[in-house]
Amino acid sequence: MTAATTVEQPNFFQAKRGLFSWIFTLDHKRIGLLYLYSVGSFFLVGLTLGLLMRLELLNPGKDIMEAQTYNQVFTLHGVIMIFLFIIPSIPAVFGNFFLPLMIGTDDVAFPRLNLFSWWLYVLGALFALSTLVFGDGPADTGWTFYAPYSVNTTTNVSLSVMAALVLGFSSILTGLNFIVTIHRLRTPGMGFNQMPLFAWSLYATSWIQLLATPVIGITLLMIFAERTFGVGLFDPSIGGDPILYQHMFWIYSHPAVYIMALPAMGIVSELIPTFAQRTIFGYKAIAYSSMAIAFIGYFVWGHHMFTSGMSGPAAVIFSILTFMVAIPTAIKVFNWVATLYKGSIVIEIPLLFALAFIFNFLIGGLTGLVLGALAADVHVHDTYFVVGHFHYVMFGGTGFAFMGAMHYWFPKIWGKMYNKLWAGIAFAFVFIGFNVLYFPMFILGIMGMPRRYYDYLPEFHPLNMISTYGSWILAAGIVIMIVNLIVSKRKGEKAAANPWNGITLEWQTSSPPPLHNFDKMPELPEGGPYNYPNAKNA
Partner 1 sequence: MDNTNHQEHISSYAELFGTWAALILLTFLTVFISVFGGDLHTLTVAMALFIASVKAAVVGFYFMHLKYDKKMYRLMMTVVLSLFTFFLFMVILDYLTR
Partner 2 sequence: MNHTFTLPNSGHNFDAKASKLGMWLFLYTELLLFGGLFLVYMVYRYLNQEAFLEASYELNVWMGGINTVILLTSSMTIAMSITALQKGDKKLSVTLQWITIAAALAFLVIKYFEWGAKFEHGLFPGMEHYNSLPVGERLYYYLYFFMTGLHALHVIVGGVFIMVVIKKVENGSVNQKRYSLLENSGLYWHLVDLIWIYLFPLFYLIH
Residues that bind partner 2 (CB under 8 A): 7, 9-10, 26, 28, 100, 104-111, 113, 172, 176-177, 179-181, 183-188, 210-215, 217-219, 222, 225, 229-233, 238-241, 244, 247-248, 251, 514-521
Residue 518: name its binding partner from partner 2, partner 1, none (Cβ under 5 to 8 Å by kind): partner 2
Residue 3: name its binding partner from partner 1, partner 2, none (Cβ under 5 to 8 Å by kind): none
What backbone phi and psi angles, to 5 degrees, belong to 470?
-60, -40
Considering the complex, state which of residue 491 and residue 520 has its C-beta at the smaller distance from partner 2. Answer: 520
Window 149 to 188, contacts with partner 1 (CB under 8 A):
188
Residue 196: name its binding partner from partner 2, partner 1, none (Cβ under 5 to 8 Å by kind): none
> In angstroms, what is the minimal distance from the CB of 348 to partner 2?
31
Are residues 249 and 75 in contact, defined by beta-carbon separation less than 8 angstroms?
Answer: no
Window 231 to 290, contacts with partner 1 (CB under 8 A):
243-244, 247, 251
For residue 146, is it left (φ>0), alpha (ψ between -120 and 50) or beta?
Answer: beta
Considering the complex, state which of residue 215 and residue 423 has its C-beta at the smaller distance from partner 2. Answer: 215
User: Applying CB under 8 A, which of residues 65, 123, 211, 465 lies at the interface with partner 1?
Assistant: 211
> In angstroms, what is the minimal distance from the CB of 219 to partner 1?
12
| Under rule CB under 8 A, residue 482 binds partner 1 | no
> In angstroms, what is the minimal distance from the CB of 484 to partner 1?
43
Peptide bond preceding 529 in cis form (omega within 30 of 0):
no
Q: Where are the beta strands (DSSP E) in 428-503?
A: none
Residues whose CB falls within 8 Å of the CB of residue 431, separated by 6 or more in sequence, listed in order: 352, 356, 477
CB neighbours of residue 346 within 10 Å: 12
Residue 452: name its binding partner from partner 1, partner 2, none (Cβ under 5 to 8 Å by kind): none
Residue 238: name its binding partner from partner 2, partner 1, none (Cβ under 5 to 8 Å by kind): partner 2
H or E element: which one contains 275? Answer: helix 242-276
Distances (CA, A) of 208 to 178, 241, 384, 400, 415: 12, 26, 28, 22, 33
Distances (CA, A) of 388 to 76, 97, 374, 383, 464: 18, 32, 18, 9, 12
Residue 313: name its binding partner from partner 1, partner 2, none (Cβ under 5 to 8 Å by kind): partner 1
Is residue 40 classed as helix, strand or coil in its secondary structure? helix
> In angstroms, what is the minimal distance from the CB of 220 to partner 2?
10
Residue 9: name its binding partner from partner 1, partner 2, none (Cβ under 5 to 8 Å by kind): partner 2
Considering the complex, state which of residue 378 and residue 521 has its C-beta at the smaller distance from partner 2. Answer: 521
> In angstroms, what is the minimal distance from the CB of 502 to partner 2?
21
> In angstroms, what is the minimal distance from the CB of 449 to partner 2?
35
CA 382 distance to own-chain centroid: 23
CA 421 distance to own-chain centroid: 26
Specify burial of residue 497 (Cβ count, 10 A radius: 0-12, 13-18, 19+). buried
| Rounded CA separation 125/38 (Å) | 9
> In angstroms, what is the minimal distance from the CB of 206 to partner 2?
9
Neighbouring-strand partners of residue 450: 383
Residue 36: name its binding partner from partner 2, partner 1, none (Cβ under 5 to 8 Å by kind): none
Start-end of H helices in 135-241: 149-152, 157-184, 197-229
> In angstroms, what is the minimal distance from the CB of 209 to partner 1?
14
Residue 318: name its binding partner from partner 1, partner 2, none (Cβ under 5 to 8 Å by kind): partner 1
What is the DSSP track for 225-269?
HHHHHS--SS-GGGT--HHHHHHHHHHHHHHHHHHHHHHHHHHHH
Considering the complex, state which of residue 310 and residue 417 has its C-beta at the smaller distance from partner 1. Answer: 310
> In angstroms, what is the minimal distance from the CB of 268 to partner 1?
27
Residue 277: name its binding partner from partner 1, partner 2, none (Cβ under 5 to 8 Å by kind): none
Window 283 to 342, contacts with partner 1 (CB under 8 A):
298-299, 302, 310-314, 317-318
Residues that bind partner 1 (CB under 8 A): 188, 211, 215, 243-244, 247, 251, 298-299, 302, 310-314, 317-318
